[in-house]
Structure 1
């Protein structure tokens, strides 16, 4: 990694291009402070530039990333190679970033398949199995300030003046006061995908568990929607921000497809040497009034099935993090984590990160947690791979970001939908144990569809 200071983007580009050998390329990034802008307006402007967009917001931290365009993508069938490719990219990059804050410098955003061994279907054909995208324009907005990183991949044949002029023109457009598209398409078709077969699969899972082949299996299903017109991603994000104030809001666009959601479940966050993971398993609805809400929460805290499910996740995450941390702190008991539609059992796991460790190593170790796969992991994954009706794609898998300062955060992509023009596929899952009732599990998934279904007009 080459650090550059006190230069303009054009002068940096000129030096880099002049020093490149033929057929070689190098990533160049330039970070600067900018006036605060509405991240959704910035996101919307990218639509009119016909560039792929990405969005990430940690609402609790008031931290937002908006990516426009694609300076470079790392695509790998094998998720274990992402770390090496990312480090190699940074080692050759030229970075002008005097701030060293999270979300500045070269920043990549992306996601992964839930199960790389599961056969792909047409549903996810526009998404790579594992991808990290370095946007051409990355806006970072935190509670205090806003920063813009411009990144471009150059070769020895490029014209630094022409590149600089084109980037400047697009940047000016992105910061215009663009109005958000406000459309409210009506749902004209709603299809529960093979509900009876799904319930039969739940029964198979309970038999599988009763025979001692697993302790828990998480099964997911799909709800398909068709609308009167194309769904605008900006409008969906705006409604998610309003309705899910304690979730991670994300969107990742690939051409006409966009994977979008509001997940409450952090997988791992690394900032400096501090690591934070989240155990979120066990679910109940919210009450219609305070008394009912408290009663539902009390039942959840004392429900044997949900506490057992939660403890699976806590122990797995704790054991998985021990090799990466000098010390680990885990509370003895879970608390309630309340969202607008749902409440969950919640236990944070904190640790001091060892030197030379990478967030990629932690992601690979933790995914999938028992909350999304099951326990034991391999036995549960084998059952899901062979019996589940759904191609999960990026659903239930890590989605997040990492920067050149070695800060990053990944969440678990649940409470989500794949938007495809005037169609959408929603995803939800539940943990099956030996005494699970198929009808009750079906109802739990119905509740978990609500956060996305409500913002889509359902």
Structure 2
């Protein structure tokens, strides 16, 4: 990868065209500039005039936001080796790319954003036709906001037959629209209908799972259900993301636009983060609602900490993550007891995991080992995934899969795509799951998933 002082964009494009002519191969150029602070929601909204492939990521624990527009390169895979395949293509792109960047900031330059389905063997049918099994995108334009600083990356694939002035004009016109273009008035959708998908059948599956667990077929399984809502008009993506950013302060806010559909969410669950070889993961399992006041909130938190079912569910996750992280890290630190982690609508049991990534390993190596955690699949891992595939009444698609980003400096972060919805013009599918163990009660689990659906329902004007 070439890092150099940034010349004028005309010079960069002209040199790339010349190199493409000499080599006979397309040239990937990436140009990073610091710009005046730019609001991420405004950038996302204006981007609808440029391309219908938009990406958004806001971190849960730092002032860090990415907004991608367009697609210079999509890295796809659809088999059991998808993490390795995507890593291999990513490495090849990095080796060949010409990166013009004197700033070297995290999340700028070559950055890939996207996600993976929960299960590669589940048929990618309705309602996920627009989403490939695994897709990481290097956007054409990328806004990176870190605290009060903004950076704009432009990624272009140059062909030998390209014309310099045409490309330069297009880039400048797009920059003008993204940074200064007119915006529409953002309006949340009006929900006009809601239906729980096969609730009685879902409860029956939960009851059957408790019986199968008692019979030692498996130890735990996470079963998800779907709620469908309809709107009076097409959903405005920027309005929903703005609402989630305002109301879900301790969650990762994300959106991936593909095939005209939007997958959006506000997930509290980090899978893994790597920053300068330092790794952070999160054990988040065990759920109870928030209280109406401080006393009730504290009382519910204590109830969660002392509940055998939730503690067992949480311990499953801790031990699995410990095993996965120790396989590729050193200096692994995991507290002996969880704490209560409050969100707007819910409280969870939370145990942080920190470690140092061994040389030769990457963030995707960690993600491949962690997915799916017992909080999303169950135990044993493969047995629970097979159980879900055969019995669950929905196609998970990207729900509960790893979603996130990584850059060319070995930084990145992935979360688990829960508390999420698939938006399709005037309709949406919302998803929520719960961990089923031998003493689970179907009605109680149904109620728990109802609480987990509230953040997305609220953002979508639902009830």
Q: TM-score, normalised by structure 2?
A: 0.97
Give the SS at the match of 1:175: helix
| Contact in 2 for aligned 1:180/1:235 (Cα 8 Å) | no
Residues 51 and 186 of structure 1, relative CA distance in 2, 3 Å threshold: closer
Give the SS at the match of 1:100: coil
| Contact in 1 for aligned 2:142/2:154 (Cα 8 Å) | yes
Runs (4+) of structure 1 exceeding 4 A deviation are: none
Say which is worse superposed, 152-161 or 172-181, in terms of deviation.
172-181
Q: CA RMSD in A?
A: 1.2
1:22: Cα distance to partner? 6.3
Indicate the residue corresponding to 1:273 in structure 2. 277
1:141: Cα distance to partner? 0.5
- Match among 320, 325, 332 for residue 329 of structure 2: 325
Indicate the residue corresponding to 1:51 in structure 2. 52
2:102 is the counterpart of 1:101: no
2:40 is the counterpart of 1:39: yes
Give the SS at the match of 2:127: helix
| Contact in 2 for aligned 1:41/1:180 (Cα 8 Å) | no
Indicate the residue corresponding to 1:443 in structure 2. 447
Indicate the residue corresponding to 1:161 in structure 2. 165
Give the SS at the match of 1:36: coil
Say which is worse superposed, 324-333 or 175-184, in terms of deviation.
175-184
Aligned residue runs from structure 1 range 415-434, under 5 A: 415-434=419-438
Unaligned runs of at least 5 residues, structure 1: none
Indicate the residue corresponding to 1:69 in structure 2. 70
Q: List per-residue Cα deviations over 1:388-447 (Å, max 9, x = no partner).
A: 111000000100011111110000000000000010000000000011111111111111
| Contact in 1 for aligned 2:286/2:304 (Cα 8 Å) | yes
1:99: Cα distance to partner? 1.6
Give the SS at the match of 1:126: coil
Indicate the residue corresponding to 1:205 in structure 2. 209
1:101: Cα distance to partner? 1.5
Structure 2 CA distance for aligned equivalents of residues 346 and 166 of structure 1: 48
Aligned residue runs from structure 1 range 365-404, under 5 A: 365-404=369-408
Indicate the residue corresponding to 1:296 in structure 2. 300
- Match among 213, 220, 233 for residue 216 of structure 1: 220
Unaligned runs of at least 5 residues, structure 2: none
Give the SS at the match of 1:122: coil
Aligned length: 458
- Match among 365, 368, 372 for residue 364 of structure 1: 368
Q: List per-residue Cα deviations over 1:291-343 (Å, max 9, x = no partner).
A: 11111110001100000000100110011011211210001111111100001
| Contact in 2 for aligned 1:40/1:180 (Cα 8 Å) | no
Indicate the residue corresponding to 2:10 in structure 1. 10
| Contact in 2 for aligned 1:64/1:142 (Cα 8 Å) | yes
Structure 2 CA distance for aligned equivalents of residues 88 and 184 of structure 1: 42
Structure 2 CA distance for aligned equivalents of residues 257 and 234 of structure 1: 13
| Contact in 2 for aligned 1:209/1:216 (Cα 8 Å) | yes
| Contact in 1 for aligned 2:3/2:102 (Cα 8 Å) | no
Structure 2 CA distance for aligned equivalents of residues 200 and 239 of structure 1: 35
Structure 2 CA distance for aligned equivalents of residues 183 and 241 of structure 1: 15
Structure 2 CA distance for aligned equivalents of residues 225 and 247 of structure 1: 23
Indicate the residue corresponding to 2:240 in structure 1. 236
Structure 1 CA distance for aligned equivalents of residues 176 and 448 of structure 2: 47
| Contact in 2 for aligned 1:105/1:405 (Cα 8 Å) | no
Say which is worse superposed, 127-136 or 179-188, in terms of deviation.
179-188
Indicate the residue corresponding to 2:354 in structure 1. 350
Indicate the residue corresponding to 2:290 in structure 1. 286
Structure 1 CA distance for aligned equivalents of residues 200 and 31 of structure 2: 54
Structure 2 CA distance for aligned equivalents of residues 454 and 51 of structure 1: 25
Aligned residue runs from structure 1 range 72-91, under 5 A: 72-78=73-79, 79-80=82-83, 81-91=85-95
1:47: Cα distance to partner? 0.7
2:61 is the counterpart of 1:60: yes
1:137: Cα distance to partner? 0.5
Structure 2 CA distance for aligned equivalents of residues 205 and 2 of structure 1: 55
Structure 2 CA distance for aligned equivalents of residues 179 and 160 of structure 1: 30
Q: TM-score, normalised by structure 1?
A: 0.98
Q: List per-residue Cα deviations over 1:154-207 (Å, max 9, x = no partner).
A: 111112221111101110111016435322332111110000010111112111
Aligned residue runs from structure 1 range 80-159, under 5 A: 80=83, 81-159=85-163
| Contact in 2 for aligned 1:41/1:178 (Cα 8 Å) | no
Structure 2 CA distance for aligned equivalents of residues 181 and 310 of structure 1: 43
Structure 1 CA distance for aligned equivalents of residues 435 and 235 of structure 2: 31
Structure 1 CA distance for aligned equivalents of residues 293 and 181 of structure 2: 41
